[in-house]
Amino acid sequence: MNKKEILDAFMYRHACKEFDPEKTISPEDFDFILETMRLSPSSFGLEPWKFLIIQDQADRKKFLPNTWGGQKQIPTCSHFVVCLAKKEHFMKNGSDYVTNFMKNIQKTPEDMLVKRSQFYKNFQETGFDLLNNDRAMFDWACKQCYIALGNMMTAAAMIGIDSCPIEGFQRKELEQILDGDFNVNLSHYGLAYMLCFGYRVNPPKVKTRQTIDQVTEWV
- Cα 94–chain centre separation: 25
pLDDT tens per residue, range 15-70: 999 999 999 999 999 999 999 999 999 999 999 999 999 999 999 999 999 999 99
pLDDT digits (tens, 9 = 90+) for 86-108: 999 999 999 999 999 999 999 99
What pLDDT was estimated at residue 1? 81
User: Which tens digit of pLDDT belongs to each residue from 160-173?
Assistant: 999 999 999 999 99
Contacts of 145 (CB under 8 A, 6+ apart): 48, 49, 83, 85, 192, 193
CA dihedral 125, 126, 128, 129 (to 10 degrees): 60
The predicted model scores a pTM of 0.95
3-state class of 155 per DSSP? helix
The torsion angles phi and psi of 164, rounded to 5 degrees, stand at -150, 115
Domains present along the chain, CATH in parentheses? 19-86+144-215 (3.40.109.10)
